[in-house]
Amino acid sequence: MENSLHVKDTDGPARRNVLVLVAAQAILGAQMPMIFVVAGLAGKQLAPTPCLATLPISVMVIGSMLAANPMSALMARYGRRAGFVVGTFGGALGGGVAAYGLSIASFPLFLVGAFLSGIYQSSQGFFRFAAADTASPAFRPKAISWVMAGGLLSAVVGPELVKLTAQSMAVPFLGTYLAVIGLNAVGVFLFSALDIPKPIARTGVAGGRSRLELLRSPRILVAVIVATVSYALMNLVMTSSPLAVVGCGFHTSDAANVVTGHVLAMFIPSFFTGHVIARIGVEKAMAIGLVILGCGGVVAIQGVQLENFFGALILLGIGWNFGFIGATTMLAASHTVEERGRMQGMNDFLVFGGVTLASFSSGGLMNCSGGTAQAGWQSVNMAMLPFLVLAGGALIWLAFRPKNEATA
């Protein structure tokens, strides 16, 4: 009884921080499905060639990738709150510049706004790590999964805001980007309630392993590979889905509904992912995620009816949840406090590097392979196979490592 009470007292601050991060994921996170629904459609409207329609999303991911290490260093020095507030300013500025680019029909300026939006996306990526900062080892998987579950509300709010704002002004999608500015303004007030101590610099204590040494750890390497593959494949397919839905004869509202189903599937499992990880182990949970991602690709290839889009994107979301939360949990348990800023920044740099390649590939595969929306959509989903083999192979390799090496 005393031990259980002690755990509860220890995790009291962690639970309060989780509530703040859940709210941030729900409210601020709504801007990401909004952007994913409209950026490709707006890009197709502004770009000189349809092959560049998804370039705004790719540029946003590049911004996120480049911001990952500076954002991690900023948080290591000044704390999580400072980093998250900087992220909201980046998101608001990105929304403003993109809105202005739309208003004057400037594709380059729209791309600048997308790049700045990547600063917010990068900061949102650290919500899951922040949830683990003050949590006990027993509470850590649940803290991470609960914060990810905060995206459940954003899955509804984001696409619904798109329906309300996409055609609300003379310039299509302008109202959506103005709404993005408002969401980021809310974030500044939310993060004032966050209470995560800054890491204490310990004199006379080594700063931990170098980046190369960290990547030589089998568990860290596998966690990075599975996180990168899970996120990149999710981005590859989701980026193309609005273009595919509209290209196959459906409406923008149908594309928004498909994205709603997808984002709900990304976050609903978070209510029990932590429990699943605790029961069956993180490696098995990651493997389940990869299998479900593959099943999503199979459903997508079967046809281009609306139910195929819903089924494929829902499976894609569930697979991402298990793969990405599992990888995050494995990574968070595989480095020290002194290595935190270095490892987490490098992890997100590599993850968003993979996502950048996926985003660039998505537009080309969708619009410039086969000549029809149906052929492009099949190409996008077929491209998942080699990367699923890579991630699955990495998990099998880890399973056959000697126990003392695999846990290093």
CATH number of the domain that residue 375 is part of: 1.20.1250.20
Per the listing, tokens 């800023």 go with: 341
Mean pLDDT of the region 252-256: 84
Burial string for 50-61 (b: 16+ CB within 10 Å, else e) reads bbbbbbbbbbbb
The answer to whether residue 102 sits within a structural domain is yes
The answer to whether residue 2 sits within a structural domain is no
389, 264 in Cβ contact below 8 A? Answer: no
Q: What is the pLDDT of residue 90?
A: 94
| Range name among 34-48, 134-148, 274-288 with the lowest pLDDT average | 134-148
Q: What is the pLDDT of residue 3?
A: 44
Model confidence at 202: pLDDT above 60: no
Model confidence at 377: pLDDT above 80: yes
| Range name among 116-120, 136-140, 278-282 with the lowest pLDDT average | 136-140
Model-level pTM? Answer: 0.72
Q: What is the pLDDT of residue 129?
A: 80
Domain containing 283: what range?
Answer: 8-194+209-406
Alpha carbon distance 338, 330 (integer Å): 17
User: 95 versus 269: which is more confidently predicted?
Assistant: 95
Alpha carbon distance 148, 268 (integer Å): 9
pLDDT band at residue 1 using 50, 70 and 90 as cut-offs: very low
Mean pLDDT of the region 188-196: 85
The answer to whether residue 60 sits within a structural domain is yes
The answer to whether residue 203 sits within a structural domain is no
The answer to whether residue 199 sits within a structural domain is no
Query: In percent, how much of the chain has pLDDT > 70?
Result: 93
The answer to whether residue 98 sits within a structural domain is yes
| Range name among 51-55, 176-180, 190-194, 401-405 with the lowest pLDDT average | 401-405
Mean pLDDT of the region 13-33: 87
User: 10 versus 292: which is more confidently predicted?
Assistant: 292
Q: What is the pLDDT of residue 200?
A: 62
The answer to whether residue 3 sits within a structural domain is no
Mean pLDDT of the region 172-193: 90
The total of structural domains in the chain comes to: 1
Model confidence at 251: pLDDT above 70: yes
The answer to whether residue 200 sits within a structural domain is no
pLDDT band at residue 6 using 50, 70 and 90 as cut-offs: very low
pLDDT band at residue 7 using 50, 70 and 90 as cut-offs: very low
User: 210 versus 293: which is more confidently predicted?
Assistant: 293
Mean pLDDT of all residues belonging to the chain: 85
Mean pLDDT of the region 259-279: 85
Cα dihedral sign, 220-226-231-232: positive
pLDDT band at residue 8 using 50, 70 and 90 as cut-offs: very low
pLDDT band at residue 205 using 50, 70 and 90 as cut-offs: very low
Cα dihedral sign, 38-39-42-44: negative
Q: What is the pLDDT of residue 201?
A: 56
Token code pair at residue 360 = 């660039």
Mean pLDDT of the region 170-187: 91
What is the residue type of 80?
A: R
